[in-house]
Amino acid sequence: MAPRSLLRALEPRDPAASARILLIGWALVGSGSVAWEVVMHAFGRDGVTPGSSLVSVGSVAAFGLLILAVRRRPERVPALVWPAIAVLQPVAATTIALLARDASAGSQIGLLYGVVYAASQLRPAVAWCVTGWAVALDALVVGLLLPAGEAVADLVVVGVSLPYVTAVMLMATTAQDRLIRRLDELATTDALTGLASRRGLEAATAAALVGRRPGDAAPHVGLVLVDVDHFKQINDRHGHPAGDAALVRLGHLLRGVAGPSDLAARLGGDELALLVRGDADLVARRAGAVLAAVRDADVAGPDGAGLRVSIGHAAAGPATDAEALYAAADRALYAAKVAGRDRTAAADVEGCVAPA
């Protein structure tokens, strides 16, 4: 696995949500740990010493500072920090247990927190590593502090319980991730044509514009808008199934023209689009290729006549945003229709329009 892929595998599914979970966990677990120390001192429990209490409070404070830093800018946190938090939490619980010479259930349950965090927020491989680490630390605690029989019994319980928690939480998060992917697919894919939806096109356009090289004088992103001429007549005279069939066919033609880095989309109704990764000349060639493909395919339209389309296209300037790019292509599309339809027209983001 490449280093970058490895680092990505260490990151949480959602850094912002993971940071919130850590903050909530620290607030609850930290206050609980401090309260436990206070109660144990009040009851004079053996093993609870000023040293163990200092380690406990110090661990809570150290984790708090780390988590507050993570919560502030989760997107800037190095990938290794996330699993490190999950690994260090059981280490802190183990250190406190050994200093207090406490191998009770209350002490051993401190190993659970890092496991829950890893299983709910991190990738499965990382979660299982953290779980194995926590079980190994529990073996160290009970092995040093309990008689052999009790140590084995406690280790068996912990050795079964922690993996069970991890398995259940991973199953739940996997199902949730699968559902989110499916919902995202439905939201970004047009059900009729299989092309990208308006939402998918908007996201891809924004990403393409952001990804352009800073300071580029020439645009490297363009948009082609395709609108079916007299589409309403198809639905009125032949019914909506005929109109749907024509759109499906047009979607197929648009895919055939699209380059490997282009994105074909249906914006709604009879308007389709092609996001082009290239300069103005390439955008114009794509627009011409779409027009030629529709003419050559002779897609059936009203009364058996060939279906025709009007096309507007525009290329982004150095500081163009997605809204301005769409507005320019839409102006060009309108110009193509006014000029007689069945043609292309170009517009720039400054407002100039040139029918072809």
Helix boundaries (H) for 79-197? 81-100, 105-108, 112-121, 124-145, 148-188
Q: Are residues 146 and 209 in the same domain?
A: no
For the segment 227-243, the average pLDDT, to the nearest whole number, is 81
**How is the beta sheet containing 271-276 ordered, strand by strand?**
263-268, 271-276, 222-228, 309-315, 344-348, 353-355
In a domain, 280, yes or no: yes
Q: Are residues 47 and 70 in the same domain?
A: yes
Q: Are residues 305 and 350 in the same domain?
A: yes
Q: Are residues 254 and 177 in the same domain?
A: no
Smallest CA-to-CA distance from 255 within 278, 222, 213, 289 is with: 289
CB neighbours (10 Å) of residue 31? Answer: 11
Q: Are residues 205 and 314 in the same domain?
A: yes
Domain boundary among 164, 187, 210: 187
Q: Are residues 17 and 151 in the same domain?
A: yes
Domain boundary among 187, 222, 252: 187
Q: How confident is the model at residue 59 (pLDDT cuts 50, 70, 90)?
A: confident
pLDDT digits (tens, 9 = 90+) for 245-262: 888 989 999 999 999 999
Number of domains in the chain: 2
In a domain, 259, yes or no: yes
Helix (H, G, I), strand (E, B) or coil at 276: strand
- Residue 243 is predicted with a pLDDT of 83
Q: Are 340 and 350 in contact (CB under 8 A)?
A: no
- Residue 352 is predicted with a pLDDT of 60
Burial of residue 107, with CB atoms counted within 10 A of its CB: 0-12 exposed, 13-18 middle, 19 or more buried: buried
Q: Are 332 and 345 in contact (CB under 8 A)?
A: yes
Residue 88: φ, ψ to 5° = -75, -30
252: domain CATH number?
3.30.70.270
Q: Are residues 84 and 219 in the same domain?
A: no
Q: What percent of the chain has pLDDT over 70?
A: 88
User: Strands 344-348, 353-355: parallel, antiparallel or unpaired by DSSP?
Assistant: antiparallel
Token digits of residue 13: 């599914």
In a domain, 273, yes or no: yes
What is the residue-averaged pLDDT of the chain? 85
| pTM above threshold 0.85 | no
Q: Are residues 204 and 165 in the same domain?
A: no
pLDDT digits (tens, 9 = 90+) for 10-24: 888 888 888 888 888
- Residue 302 is predicted with a pLDDT of 47
- Residue 253 is predicted with a pLDDT of 92
In a domain, 193, yes or no: no
Q: Are residues 21 and 144 in the same domain?
A: yes
Containing structural domain, residue 237 = 198-355
Q: How confident is the model at residue 275 (pLDDT cuts 50, 70, 90)?
A: very high
Q: Are residues 60 and 183 in the same domain?
A: yes
| pLDDT value at 93 more than 90 | no
Domain boundary among 150, 168, 187: 187
For the segment 278-306, the average pLDDT, to the nearest whole number, is 80
Burial of residue 152, with CB atoms counted within 10 A of its CB: 0-12 exposed, 13-18 middle, 19 or more buried: middle
Half-sphere exposure in the Cβ direction for 59 (13 Å, CA): 25
- Residue 51 is predicted with a pLDDT of 67
- Residue 299 is predicted with a pLDDT of 59
| pLDDT value at 322 more than 70 | yes
pLDDT digits (tens, 9 = 90+) for 117-149: 999 999 999 999 999 999 999 999 999 999 999
Q: Are residues 178 and 215 in the same domain?
A: no
User: Strands 263-268, 309-315: parallel, antiparallel or unpaired by DSSP?
Assistant: unpaired
Q: Are residues 28 and 94 in the same domain?
A: yes
Q: Give the list of residues 6+ apart from residue 313 with CB closer than 8 angstroms, or none.
A: 222, 223, 224, 225, 283, 284, 286, 287, 329, 332, 344, 345, 346, 347
